[in-house]
Amino acid sequence: MSAGVGKSGSRSGAAHGGAPPIEARGLVKRYGDLTAVDGVDLTVAPGDVYGYLGPNGAGKTTSLRMLLGLIRPTEGSVRLFGRDPLADGAAALDGVAGFVEEPRFYPYLSALKNLEMLAAYDGDGAKDRIGEALDTVELTARRRDRVGGYSHGMKQRLGIAAALLRRPRLLLLDEPATGLDPAGMRDMRALVKRLAGEGMTVMLSSHLLGEVEELCNRVAIVRSGRVIYEDQLADLLASARGEYRLETTDDSRARGLAAAQPGVSDVVIENGTIRLAAEEPAVAALSVALGAAGVGIRALVPHTATLEELFFRLTEGEEGAADPPPTLAPAEAPSREAPARVPEPVGRRA
């Protein structure tokens, strides 16, 4: 099921005294014996482009549904600009828009007609914003075409246009680039960047690491329903600096010598290479120690882990052994057709 979300509203009066766009505390969602979301705490600050990153089944969509008040948490609380989407209903969605899974439209009507219908529902001058929203997502030329004939990427962009009708200050997007071809992904990223550049706060879920690395300033990494990292993306990437890769004529002895070397830490053998963390003086001392021990150095190179490597390290720990392997999709499958369903009004909410 998917849902469009949002409520039109003036930018004024949406916030509660500078409350953050999103504040979730202790969110839990259980389905019978399955805990889909397990104690998620997160705060999205104004201006953030916040990536909610995790492998398939980690609980991203379930979390977004709770953030938007589409489903009730088993435990925990959500505040959007200080308002509770369950208790405050549509008022909590003032200034908030987005879609979960994928946006849906009447396939036999044009994009323009679909947007006109949504704007009529939204009111608050939304009709006057249709042209601008279509321009922003670069669908003006195709506005009179039936949505049923749109590509997946065009439908995703139309979903954002529908969200923009409500002049959101917070945009929530569930895997916006999933299913898009490389050009569609590029367009979607450019669009999100442009909106963020205009000051919109964005939260997007993704299992596309490149997308998160390119777009987001802050990131939460989720595994099995739990947030295992939440902070600045730059800090996460910086934590990987000061790493070296070492290849020797005797890795087993080299590993022992490295582990014993003052100033060298986190020594592990990974993919047939020794990985270690150290400052330059300690690396120099290690190279001398290796030579003195008769261990030849084939390579000793500084290495900064990519987000992808960090992601796997974080999501494939011991607990990961019991989990299905994370699915990464640098290039997604070809586009798929959205089922012919009517837009689901939320707050427009069921």
Token pair of 7, please? 């409520």
**Beta-bridge partners for 6:** 97
**Window 184-223: contact mask with ligand ATP (x via CB under 6 A):** -----------------------x----------------
**Window 16-55: contact mask with ligand ATP (x via CB under 6 A):** ---------------x--x-x-----------------x-
Residue 207 CB-density burial (10 A; 0-12 exposed, 13-18 middle, 19+ buried): buried
Report, in Å, the least distance between residue 32 CB and ligand ATP.
Answer: 7
- Of 291 and 325, nearer to ligand ATP (C-beta) is 325
Report, in Å, the least distance between residue 7 CB and ligand ATP.
Answer: 24
Report, in Å, the least distance between residue 29 CB and ligand ATP.
Answer: 8
Q: Is 201 helix (H, G, I), strand (E, B) or coil?
A: strand
Report, in Å, the least distance between residue 133 CB and ligand ATP.
Answer: 26
Residue 61 in contact with ligand ATP, rule: CB under 6 A: yes
Is the peptide bond between 348 and the residue preceding it cis, with omega within 30 degrees of 0?
Answer: yes
d(CA 317, CA 174): 26
d(CA 3, CA 65): 9
Report, in Å, the least distance between residue 95 CB and ligand ATP.
Answer: 24
d(CA 222, CA 230): 9
* Number of residues assigned to the chain: 350
Query: What is the binding site for ligand ATP (CB under 6 A)?
Result: 31, 34, 36, 54, 56-62, 207
